[in-house]
Amino acid sequence: MRIHKYRAWNPDLNGGEMMYSGFHLEANGEVFMQVQRGWTTAHNLIVMEYAGYSDRNGKEICEGDFVRSYSRIWPVEQKRHPTTFEVRYSSGSFFPDPSWVMVVVGNTFETPNLLEETA
């Protein structure tokens, strides 16, 4: 069974910052963010789910990441599959084999220019 973990992109924090804690995701999809005196609805947070795998350096792979594998950069898209994630590219998509050597090289928010290399 896959572990469910999340991270969130906060475009309002320091011009954009990835958050690994300080937010809460409800079952209905509503997101709350921790503030000085409790919790508040977080309208701008973009929540991304852990894909269930780590790269060769131990970094967790999440939807929205770019991974390099076999000399190519691939965008990671979570399809809520129970055991894996989907990699999408211009002419289709596939589910990667867990034995592949993958390295997280960026994400769609902090390094959007990598999207051009995936085409």
Digitized pLDDT (tens) for each residue of the chain, 119 residues in all:
556 788 889 888 887 888 888 888 888 888 888 888 889 998 888 888 887 778 889 998 888 899 888 788 888 876 655 555 666 655 566 666 666 778 999 999 899 898 877 65
Q: What is the pTM of this model?
A: 0.76
DSSP string, 60-95: EEETTEEEEETTEEEEEE----SS--EEEETTEEEP
All structural domains of the chain: 6-117 (2.30.30.290)
Say if residues 71 and 116 touch (Cβ distance below 8 Å).
Answer: no
